[in-house]
Homo-oligomer: A and B are copies of this chain.
Amino acid sequence: MCGKPTARPGRGRPPVYCSRSCQARAYRRRRQPLPAPGSPPAPRPTDVRARQRRRIAEAVWRIAAEQGLDAASMRRIAAEARVSLRVVQYHFDSKHALMVDALRLLHEENERLAQGRIPYDMTEPGALLRAVLDEFLPLDEQRAFALRVFTAYYARSLTDPVLAEVFLAAEQPLERLVADIIGVGEAAGSTAPGIDRVHEADLLVSGAVGLGLDVLHGRRSLADVRTVLEYHLGRIFPDAIPTSRPNPA
């Protein structure tokens, strides 16, 4: 129907549609009513489409955060998103495609939120580094939620190369960003002597992620983790002003 080649079965009728979502799309095309004269223009299909995909992805995030990825069957996702199973199948060809897209969307969302929260002020590299490291801690509901979802995905990405690619590609610029911030401090002469910014960035990012998860697990308090990171910030930037924000932990 859509033009893609269809598998020729050994017996029975040759298939008309290449996939269930192709069939659903054809069905929608046939059912689409003509707009009544004078009615407001229908929302552009891309908007509805993006909103529905987002709604379904959010359902995946919620299930992953609360019960883990194994609980996310197509049926359960549809119920959680309050759409029909057909709608989920229309937007995502397979459960795997949905899983991968939901992860990609969460990465984009997090990136956007982090950019809003971090003051990109390179004149104070110490404070900027603190703001970047804060992004790994479950400082509010949104960050705690995202950490839970990422953890659910993390284990699965070890046995799923496609997921691993999305997962890890999105993480790679972080160490570079941290190294660059330390580099700016180095150029301004505000870092401790003998610092290797790349090696510092590697352990800082890896360590801060792990410490953030410890907070989520209830193994450490937020105040404890902040003290650890503040010590390492002070070690790299001896003159950085310690944070004076009220500590929520």
Residues of A within 8 A of B (CB): 66-70, 148, 151-152, 154-159, 164, 168, 171-172, 194, 196, 199, 202-211, 214, 216-219, 227-229, 231-232, 235
As for how many copies of this chain the complex holds, the number is: 2
CB distance from A144 to the nearest CB of B (A): 10
23 cross-chain CB contacts under 8 A? A67-B159, A70-B70, A151-B155, A152-B158, A154-B155, A164-B217, A168-B219, A171-B219, A199-B228, A199-B231, A199-B232, A202-B207, A202-B211, A203-B204, A203-B211, A203-B229, A203-B232, A206-B206, A206-B208, A206-B209, A206-B214, A207-B207, A209-B210
Closest-by-CB residue of B relative to A209 is B210
* Chain B neighbourhood of A151, CB < 8 A: 154-155, 158
Q: Which residue of B lies closest to A168 (CB)?
A: B219
**In the complex, what distance in Å separates the CA atom of A208 from the CA atom of B202?**
10
Chain B residues near A214 (CB, 8 Å)? 206
Q: In the complex, what's the smallest C-beta–C-beta distance from A94 to chain B, in angstroms?
A: 17
From A168, A202, A235, residue with most partner B Cβ within 10 Å = A202
Q: List 19 other contacts, CB 8 Å, given A68-B156, A154-B155, A204-B207.
A: A68-B159, A148-B158, A151-B154, A155-B156, A157-B217, A168-B217, A168-B219, A199-B227, A199-B228, A199-B231, A199-B232, A202-B211, A202-B228, A203-B228, A203-B229, A205-B210, A206-B209, A206-B210, A210-B210
| Cα(A166)–Cα(B219), bound, Å | 12
CB distance from A232 to the nearest CB of B (A): 6
Task: For the complex, give the distance between the alpha carbons of A207 and B210 in Å.
Answer: 7
